[in-house]
Structure 1
Amino acid sequence: TQVAARVEGEDLELSTPGGTVLHVPPPSADAEAVPVRIWGDDVRARAAGGEADRWLSDTLGFPCRLVRLDP
């Protein structure tokens, strides 16, 4: 399954070729900080939330968690 991503204002828009779309707002300042590794660097990112995690997991068919780096 393909998922396209684009920035829409401050939101992230995820969509599939079948037309399913999810708008993900930026995580709140008090959202869970999650340790992640990006290109070999250990950093912390904010969890996007359960709705985004469920949508990605259901769409891709395996457990997923969406996080966002603070600017």
Structure 2
Amino acid sequence: EDSDDNTPNEQKENLRSTVSKLDSNNNQQVPKDEIECRNQQQRALHSLVSALDTYNEDKVSLRAFIRDKLR
């Protein structure tokens, strides 16, 4: 069987080489603190949206809400 050909170590090695190929192709690497900052912004946006949504009762999309406010 094919599965017997690949020992766990060989599987790990294959995975490592795949990951390093992907990593070398990834020119847009983002620092961890940048990711954390984006995550915080995302959470803030989500809480804002849910706060708006309680008043809104799903009647208006956030995009429409913002568009109307900017007129």
Q: Scaled by the length of structure 1, what TM-score is found?
A: 0.23
Structure whose CA Rg is larger: 2
Between structures 1 and 2, the one with greater helix share: 2
**Greater RCO, CA 8 A, separation 6+:** 1
